[in-house]
Amino acid sequence: MWYACVLNGAKNFNGFLDLVCEAESAGWDAFFLPDGVAIKNVELFDPWVMMGAIAVRTTRIRFGAMITPVSRRRPWKLAKECVTVDHLSNGRLILAVGLGACPDDEGFSKVGEAVDIKVRAQRLDEGLEIIDGLWKGKEYSFAGEQFKPGSTLIPRRPGCNIVAPAKTRPAWLSTRR
């Protein structure tokens, strides 16, 4: 069995990193942080900047955002961020994806993103298809209803610890009842 910590935010960037290092020293297997723009009364740092810092400050603990709402991100940029953080961490990144808080975590409506659950679900599906296609390590093109990135190439494939919607990899998909 594996054990993970989830921290919902912090007031101090370096204090947050110190907690991750303490979790690693204490033997925890993974550490998750929020990926949100605005969650009521919670101070948030950018998760991808934080994960880059976690990657270079730790050596063993796996980590990721809980959860990454693909519908709010540009899939080609997310794919590249994953590759970068995965290489910084020597394959310790966990990509856990979902729609985001429902019906709205204010990280959608306050910044003009789609709030409709069906649209967000379609963006999630298309985004995962794009990310998986880009991670194949060769030029990839896609044209859907929500995303039309054209032909794109990400030069380096991520390590085997990144989870994606493929039959050969486990997927972490978060939902809320």
Distances (CA, A) of 132 to 3, 60, 73, 87, 148: 27, 26, 15, 17, 15
Tokens (6 digits) for 145: 């209803």
Asked if pLDDT for residue 69 goes beyond 90, the answer is: no
Tokens (6 digits) for 144: 């859907």
Confidence (pTM)? 0.82
Please answer whether residues 67 and 33 qualify as being in contact, where contact means their C-beta atoms are separated by less than 8 angstroms.
no
- Tell me the residue type at 77: K
Tokens (6 digits) for 164: 């994606």
**Residue 140, class by beta-carbon neighbours within 10 Å (0-12 exposed, 13-18 middle, 19+ buried)?**
buried
Q: What is the pLDDT of residue 100?
A: 77
150-177 per-residue burial string, b: 16 or more CB within 10 A, e: under 16: eebebeeebeebbbbeeeeeeebeeeee
Q: What is the pLDDT of residue 29?
A: 93
Q: Domain map of the chain by residue range? A: 4-173
Tokens (6 digits) for 155: 């030069």
> Does domain 4-173 fall into CATH 3.40.50.2300?
no
Tens digit of each residue's pLDDT (9 = 90 or more) over 5-55: 888 777 788 999 999 999 999 999 999 998 877 666 677 788 999 999 999
Q: What is the pLDDT of residue 168?
A: 42
Over residues 43-70, the mean pLDDT reads: 92
Tens digit of each residue's pLDDT (9 = 90 or more) over 139-169: 888 888 888 877 776 656 655 444 444 444 4
Q: What is the pLDDT of residue 177?
A: 40
Distances (CA, A) of 103 to 41, 52, 108: 18, 30, 10
